[in-house]
Amino acid sequence: MTASKTNERPGTRATLRGFPMSASKARVVLNLIRGEDINTAREILVGTNREAADVIAKVLASAVANAIGNDAMVAEELYVSAAYADEGITAKRFTPRARGRASKILKRTTHITVIVSRMDEERLELMRRSRGAQAAASRSRRVASSRRRADQTASLHKREAAHEAQAEREAAEREAAEQEAAEQATAELEASGAPAETDVDASASDSEAGEEVVPEVAETTDEDQSASDEAPETPEETN
């Protein structure tokens, strides 16, 4: 059984001709993406640290664009059915060496071709199932993370409410203790201050009484003085 020729393989292709790189370097990267779906091939090329990876990524994007625009295919249903690199023109240059000799320099080029095709129904079904499982797993992870965040928020609110309630209770207890202390102090002052007020009232009444007695004594003295003044005048008048 003879293999089909490269130009007769089915699918939509994109070709880069005459790129200044050896075909062996490009084939190392092309072997990584051959047979993979489009998304996986893109991820592989992004994570590959080779110069050919950037170029092949552009060729792959061109092949996908051709399949979508020319053949009306869906990008998610495509895969890399073929990828190969052929040798192009080799430019020969010479560099001078010792004793008048010259060494040959070969500047190689390559033709990179990427062919994309639609996956068969069985592979599409498997891919859909795997994507559905991945979506369900990711959704369950998101739900679990959201629930954890909600639980953490609820517990935080509960702790804050408990702290606020405890602070209110402590404030009420302090206020009640201060009020009780004030009432006790008032009661002690009232109990110790009643006799003193009685003594003050008594002393005040005594002072008022003394003030009233003094004028009476003074008036009596004035009358006696006037009587004593008038008494010696009587004999003079008789004489």
pLDDT of residue 131: 81
Q: Domain 9-119: which CATH class?
A: alpha beta
Instruction: Count CB atoms within 10 A of the CB of residue 33.
Output: 24
Give the dihedral of Cα atoms 154, 156, 159, 163; nearest 10 deg.
Answer: -130
- Residue 208 has a pLDDT of 52
From first to last of the 239 residues of the chain, give the pLDDT tens digit.
Answer: 455 665 667 889 999 999 999 999 999 999 999 999 999 999 999 999 999 999 999 999 999 999 999 988 988 889 999 999 999 999 999 999 999 999 999 999 999 999 999 988 888 888 888 888 888 888 888 999 998 889 889 988 888 899 999 999 999 999 899 888 888 888 888 888 655 444 545 455 555 544 544 445 444 555 555 555 555 544 444 43
pLDDT of residue 88: 93
Q: Which residue has the tokens 């790189």?
A: 21
pLDDT at residue 186, as a whole number? 87
**Letter string b/e over residues 48-67, b meaning 16 or more CB atoms within 10 A of that residue's CB:** beeebbebbbebbebbbebb
Residue 143, Ramachandran bin (φ over 0: left; ψ between -120 and 50: alpha; else beta): alpha
Residue ranges covered by each domain of the chain: 9-119, 121-177
- Degrees to nearest 5, angle at CA 64 with 131 and 122: 40
Regarding pTM above 0.85, the answer is no
Query: What was the pLDDT predicted at 196?
Result: 46
CA distance 54 to 63: 15
Which pLDDT belongs to residue 191? 84
Helix (H) or strand (E) holding 14: strand 12-19
Question: 53 near 19, Cβ under 8 Å?
Answer: no
Residue 184's pLDDT is what?
A: 87
Within 32-131, strands assigned E span: 78-87, 91-96, 102-107, 110-118
